[in-house]
Structure formats: structure tokens, C-alpha cells
Amino acid sequence: MTHLNGDVAERAAAGFTDKYGGRATGRWAAPGRVNLIGEHTDYNDGFVLPFALPLRTVVAADRQDGDNWTVWSELSGETITFGADDVAEPGRVTGWGAYVAGVVWALREAGHQVPGARLAIASDVPLGSGLSSSAALESAVLAALLDLGGLELPAERRPRLAQRAENVYVGAPTGIMDQSAVIRCRAGHALFLDCRDESVEHIPFDLDAAGLAVLVIDSRAPHRHADGEYAARRQSCEAAAEALGVPALRDVAVDQLDAALTRLDDEVTRRRVRHVVTEDQRVLDTVALLRAGRVRDIGPLLTASHVSMRDDFEITVPEVDTAVEAALAAGALGARMTGGGFGGCVLALVKADQAEAVATAVKTAYAKQGFTTPGTLTVLPAPGATRLN
Ligand code: GLA
């Protein structure tokens, strides 16, 4: 995975000084995430188990007068400005600036007096790799604006607000997982989130103690209609819940699944429902194993999740399937695509001393297929969003 030179927090601070002069009042960081298991369950009111990555987005910021926001991004090299009119209604700022303007809009809409601000953004979270670079950006900006304005919003209420920025201002119909992960995760733990009531349990995920590692493989697959396909999956799940007379697919018990499937007359919908219902159960089973300290034993659940995404939910692409197969063939205990699908990243649970061999095996398999060389990174669960100084 690409890393820009130097520490991301220093780059944000230096960018602030370069662009605006003086020193920022503070720096706020928010990480990317991977989802250990529980894919496309969040908008079905189900369960997810993400953890935060050591890759972060950092915002260095201070206040400025009036309803004016100036934002510099290291990645685009641009500085954008927007004012009250631009955040009066969703969609007026577009491109990457929409994630920043969306947070200002959502805060104002929730009744907060958002201070004007100058922001400088640097990030190590790769864009478009399914590691939640957008949730990291929203969450870091949210933390910065809240602190600069002396505004109170408890951590457990922040994800909904950041999600609203993305759903309504940016216009992407995503669930609550990414913002929750980015804001609420703890180092050394995965976040067991019930997406219906947003209750969480921090589940110890001590890879080191188990002699294991999680290898994240950036599939580098070109995005193929990911937005439209995501929205279509969501619609299909909502239509199925309605046909079954339940508030959400979370309400279909796994032991009632076969009976429920006979009540749906479309084969594709049946497969979508089977993925969601069995995936919720796999999250619960993974949590049970982790609670019992049986980290190694979660591998088959990860792989089963991948098979379900590939065959029933149909959101994988040849690159991610190749990465999963090659990782398993090279000795990974389990492997699956993580995130919304149609590209993005694969995670593989590996014995720590085999991480390199598995990464090499995936690269070799890619070369044979003529795919762009994937990026690889070994990660441990990192902390969620935080103020740095
Ligand atoms: C994307 C969305 C999440 C979630 C995942 C799939 O990351 O932003 O809300 O739906 O896809 O699990």
C-alpha cells in the first residue's frame, strides 16, 4: 500500500502552516477500518465486527471568523472554500470536499453552532480501497469542528451524524458500520456492533498472543459499478424484508431461514437473504470463539463468509477471489473480501511467521492472471478517532 513520506500528523500540521501560516489549534485523527466479518449486514439491522487500522487521516485546524470553511487536502493538492449557502442544502459541494461540507451541514441541521474553520488534511488511508477513507475523513473533521466550537456530542452519537453527511449530503446509501468503527474502535479489540440499537462490545482480538497476523491485501481491482450495485443489494434486502413481513432481515432467525426462503419466489432474492441471515450468524459465532480465546478457530467462518459473498450476494470480482484462493492455498487459516465489494481489500488470517509467504503467493497468483500487483500490509487492531495534542 502506498505510504506518503513522513508521519501523517506532521504532514497535516506542516500543510496547515504552509497554507495558512501559524500553527493549528489542534490535530484530530481518525483511522481506516477493515471488517473482520459481517458484510452487508449493517443496513439490515444486523451485526458487524470491524476493527480500526493503524492507517489514519489527520486534520489540523483552527477557527476562522464567520460561516466560512477553507480546506486544503494533501492528496488533491487543492484548497477549497465554502460558506453558509453551500451547506444550506445537500449536494452543493462536490468531490472530496463534499465529505467535509456534509459534516458541517449535518452538524448545523442537528442544531449545532458550527464554527468557521481552516482545515488541512493528510491521510495514509488509501482512497477507493474499501478501507473507509471517507468515514475517516468525516470522523476526523467532525471531531475537529466539535472541539473547535466547544460543542458536546458523545462518541456514541457521532457515527449517525457522520453517516448522515454521507447518506444525505454526499448521497451514498451506506450503513452505520464504517463511521462506528472509525469512531468507536479500541486498540487490540474488534468492535461487536449491533446495528439496530448501536450497542457495542469491545471484543479482545489479540493476534500477537495467538501468534497470528491479519494480512490486508489491496486487490487493486478497478471499481466496477460499485455504487449502483451496492444500492441494488440494499434495495433487494429491503424488498425481501417487506415480502417476509419483518422490519429487517435481521429478524429472520437462522433456524427459520429455509421456511422463509420458500416464501420468496425469486431465486436471486433468496440468495441475497441467505447471505445476510447466515452472515449475521457467522458474526455471532466469530464473537463466541473470540470470547473463548479461540482466535485460530475463526478462520473457517471468514472463508465461509467469502463464499457466501461470492455465490449468494454476488459482490466479489476475479481479483478478490484469486487473492482469497491463493492465500488459503498458501496456508492462511481463513480469508475473505472485506467491505462493500466489487474490488477493495481482502483480509487473510495467517500465522505471523507465514504472513510474508502468503503475501508472495498472492502476488504470484496475480501475476499469472495478469492482474495489477496487489498491495499488502500486516495490521493489528488500532484505536478509533482521537485528538492528538
Ligand atoms: C460499505 C458501507 C458499509 C457496509 C459495507 C458492507 O463499507 O459503507 O455501511 O454496508 O459496505 O458491509
At 91, the amino acid letter reads: G
Mean pLDDT of 175-193: 98
- Secondary structure (3-state) at 2: coil
Q: What is the pLDDT of residues 311-333, one digit of tens each?
A: 999 999 999 999 999 999 999 99
pLDDT: which is higher, 21 or 128: 21
Q: How far away, in angstroms, is 174 Cα from ligand 1 center?
A: 6
Q: Decide: 352 and 333 in contact? Cβ < 8 Å.
A: no
Closest by CA position to 348, among listed 280, 282, 315, 299? 299
Q: 369 burial class (0-12, 13-18, 19+ CB within 10 angstroms)?
A: exposed
Mean pLDDT of 275-283: 99
Q: Which residues of 87-110 are buried (b: 16+ CB within 10 A; e: fewer)?
A: beebeebeebbbbbbbbbbbbebe
Q: What is the overall mean pLDDT for the chain? A: 96
DSSP state string for 286-319: HHHHHHTT-GGGGHHHHHHHHHHHHHTS----HH
Is pLDDT above 90 for 244? Answer: yes
Nearest CA to ligand 1 atom 11: 340
Tell me phi and psi for residue 177, to 5 degrees.
-65, -50
CA 264 centroid distance within chain = 31
Report the pLDDT value the prediction gives residue 2, as an integer from 0 to 100.
46
Pocket test for ligand 1, best of 35, 37, 42 (most atoms within 8 A of CB): 42
The Cα–Cα gap between 53 and 115 comes to 30
Active-site residue, selected from the candidate residues 62, 178, 280, 312:
178
At 184, the amino acid letter reads: R
The set of residues, in sequence order, having a beta carbon less than 8 Å from that of 139 and lying 6+ positions away, is: 30, 158, 159, 162, 179, 182, 183, 385
Nearest CA to ligand 1 atom 5: 340
Residue with cell 478509533: 384
Query: Which atom of ligand 1 is closest in space to residue 176's alpha carbon?
Result: 9
* Residue % of the chain over a pLDDT of 90: 96
- Is there a catalytic annotation at residue 178? yes
**Residue ranges with strand state E in 43-133:** 47-48, 50-63, 68-73, 79-83, 117-123
Q: How far away, in angstroms, is 296 Cα from ligand 1 center?
A: 25
Is pLDDT above 70 for 47? Answer: yes
The Cα–Cα gap between 321 and 141 comes to 35
Q: How far away, in angstroms, is 60 Cα from ligand 1 center?
A: 27
The Cα–Cα gap between 123 and 327 comes to 28
Sorting pLDDT into bands at 50, 70 and 90, what band is 375?
very high
Report the pLDDT value the prediction gives residue 4, as an integer from 0 to 100.
52
Is pLDDT above 70 for 3? Answer: no
Sorting pLDDT into bands at 50, 70 and 90, what band is 358?
very high
Q: Which domains does the chain have, with CATH numbers?
A: 8-202 (3.30.230.10), 207-379 (3.30.70.890)
Report the pLDDT value the prediction gives residue 5, as an integer from 0 to 100.
61
**Grid coordinates belonging to 79:** 484548497
Which residue ranges have their beta carbon within 6 Å of ligand 1?
35, 39-40, 42-43, 174-175, 177-178, 339-340
